């Protein structure tokens, strides 16, 4: 299993990415298991909200380069999170890289701890943050997007909060989550669904308008010579040929 069994407590279902040896990388299997689990949450009236968290020191390292999901399947997963009629809270106490930021951006209320770090490393692999732009660009500061898309620099939780990637950067994640989860438990299911529909409308329009083009663009990038060199260099723990 790459996803731990769901845990349900007082209306909150926790889904835990549980492949720490692979840094919870987005394999085809993990994407499929998480998509199925979210569908189960959507159909279960006892679920008021979902918490997405992780084991190990990494929330999600991006695509699993040895067993990557189809871009369309990953897009469908991100859209399922955005469109789920129940809030999705991300509890992040580790590193987030590349496609992991798309998973994070799809969530409604991401909360990051002091160990969390973030980086959009695609440009360093000969790629681009193509499909993850669908939930990411509508939610983060445009100038910050330009900087971190282009440079691949690493940044911390307070910076992630400043640019809009996370809702809260806290020293104690679980303490910060207490009022959030309490607020969700006090809201009616109808009120949550209708409110979420308002705040995600723009993001969903982007999926409907641009997903097909970005999936095509992503596939072309992954098939390119630059990407082959970038991913080979990454796996061999060396600099790619273009580094000056």
Strands 109-112 and 95-97: unpaired
User: What is the per-residue pLDDT across 160-203, written as a single tens digit (0 to 9) for each?
Assistant: 999 999 999 999 999 999 999 999 999 999 999 999 999 999 99
Q: How many CB atoms lie within 10 A of CB 186?
A: 9
Q: How many CB atoms lie within 10 A of CB 46?
A: 9
Question: Which CATH fold topology does 1-172+189-244 show?
Answer: 2-enoyl-CoA Hydratase; Chain A, domain 1 (3.90.226)
DSSP 26: B
Of 72, 132, 144, 68, the closest CA to residue 106 belongs to: 132
- Rounded Cα–Cα distance for residues 132 and 161 (Å): 18
What does the CA dihedral 21, 24, 28, 32 come to, rounded to 10 degrees?
120
Of 3, 98, 97, the closest CA to residue 41 belongs to: 3
pTM: 0.96
Burial class from Cβ neighbours inside 10 Å (0-12, 13-18, 19+) for residue 229 reads middle
- Rounded Cα–Cα distance for residues 167 and 90 (Å): 10
Take residue 132 and report the two structure tokens written for it: 């993850």
User: What is the per-residue pLDDT across 9-52, written as a single tens digit (0 to 9) for each?
Assistant: 999 999 999 999 999 999 999 999 999 999 999 999 999 999 99
| Residue boundaries of the structural domains of the chain | 1-172+189-244
Cβ distance 148 to 129 under 8 Å? no
Banded model confidence at residue 65, pLDDT cuts 50, 70, 90: confident
Cβ distance 141 to 122 under 8 Å? no
């Amino acid at each position: 299993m790459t996803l731990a069994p769901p845990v349900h407590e007082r209306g909150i279902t926790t889904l835990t990415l549980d492949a720490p040896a692979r840094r919870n990388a987005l394999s085809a299997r993990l994407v499929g298991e998480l998509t199925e689990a979210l569908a189960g949450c959507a159909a279960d009236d006892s679920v008021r909200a979902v918490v997405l968290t992780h084991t190990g020191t990494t929330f999600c390292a991006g695509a699993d380069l040895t067993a990557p999901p189809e871009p369309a399947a990953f897009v469908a997963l991100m859209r399922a999170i955005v469109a789920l009629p129940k809030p999705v809270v991300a509890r992040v106490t580790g590193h987030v890289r590349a496609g992991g930021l798309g998973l994070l951006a799809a969530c409604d209320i991401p909360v990051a701890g002091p160990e969390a770090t973030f980086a959009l490393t695609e440009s360093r692999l000969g790629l681009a943050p193509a499909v993850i732009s669908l939930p990411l660009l509508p939610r983060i500061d445009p100038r910050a997007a330009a900087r971190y898309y282009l440079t691949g620099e690493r940044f911390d939780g307070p910076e992630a909060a400043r640019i809009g990637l996370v809702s809260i950067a806290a020293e104690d994640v679980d303490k910060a989550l207490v009022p959030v989860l309490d607020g969700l438990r006090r809201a009616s299911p109808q009120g949550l669904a209708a409110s979420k529909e308002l705040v995600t409308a723009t993001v969903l329009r982007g999926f409907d308008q641009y997903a097909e083009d970005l999936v095509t663009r992503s596939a072309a990038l992954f098939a390119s010579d630059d990407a082959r060199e970038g991913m080979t260099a990454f796996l061999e723990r060396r600099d790619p040929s273009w580094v000056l």
